[in-house]
Amino acid sequence: MMRDNEILSRRVFLGTCAAGAALFTTRGLFAEQLALTPSRTEGPFYPDRLPLDTDNDLIIVNDGITPAVGEITHLTGRILSETGSPIRNATIEIWQCDANQVYLHTGDSDGKRDQQDKNFQGFGRFTTGSTGEYYFRTIKPVPYPGRPAPHIHIKVKKGGRELLTTQLNIAGHPGNEVDGVVLGGIGVFDRELLMAEFKPIKESKIGELAAHFDLILGRTPDESAFKPKSSSSR
């Protein structure tokens, strides 16, 4: 099991490797630079019609009383600059298919109306405060035909600009070993940065899970030359 500070150290270590000899600061120390979160393809199913409810609780739609089907997961993390500063007023969006493998996109759901879980919101948003933290309640992602690796799609925006589009995967899931997007055009270090552990919450009597995933952006969005790290796999 890996604690948050261990995950952060791993990021620092990986970032240092990625920077090669790293940079010396004026104090003669190695600059601590976090490894940037790699971008991944948006895929075809960013919702073509956003739901009326776009809050950060994907388990309950509007005032519904029936929760979505699936393993309830509390997804938390921070949006940080490469030096570890929290990025405030960033909007993180997530979208994923429901437990029956249907996305909130007419290109997917039109032929699967009977299959779709109408109680799953499928998309949610959260805007960060001064700590850069975000929170979603959603389901543990499931594989679907063509994508053996379960994943949650993520987009980060600020001031109307898209800063990063990526995908979060489940650490240790066997589907990761045979999934074209997980494996394609990305090195082993970067691939590892997109893995999150889904751990049982001990106190939960209904088997809820917790996952933590920090997003590290290449430049603070206030810098005009901001450029997210690109990936060859689009």
Using CB under 5 A as the binding criterion, the count of chain residues that bind Fe ion stands at 1
Residue 41 C-beta: closest distance to Fe ion, Å: 9
198: its two tokens: 């889904």
Nearer to Fe ion, 47 or 84 (CB): 47
CB 37 within 8 A of CB 92: no
Residues 114-153 that bind Fe ion (CB under 5 A): none
Q: How far apart are CA 36 and CA 80, in angstroms?
A: 9
Least distance CB 97 / Fe ion (angstroms): 7
Backbone angles phi, psi at 203, to 5 degrees: -75, -15
Q: What does residue 112 show for φ and ψ, rounded to 5 degrees?
A: -130, 30
Report, in Å, the least distance between residue 106 CB and Fe ion: 15
* Closest to Fe ion by CB, 96 or 128: 96
Least Å distance, CB 160 to Fe ion, is 25
Calpha distance 233→225 (Å, rounded)? 23
The answer to whether residue 43 forms part of the interface with Fe ion (CB under 5 A) is yes
Of 125, 189, 120, the closest CA to residue 156 belongs to: 125
Comparing CB distances to Fe ion, the nearer of 43 and 185 is 43
Closest CB 209 distance from Fe ion, rounded Å: 19
Q: Which region among 7-15, 21-29, 36-44, 223-231 touches Fe ion (by CB under 5 A)?
A: 36-44
Query: 90 or 94, CB closer to Fe ion?
Result: 94
- The CA distances from residue 181 to 20, 57, 100, 111, 185, in Å, are 26, 27, 21, 24, 8
**Residue range at the interface with Fe ion (CB under 5 A); choices 41-49, 104-112, 213-221, 226-234:** 41-49
Rounded Cα distance, 101 and 49, in Å: 18
List interacting residues with Fe ion (CB under 5 A). 43
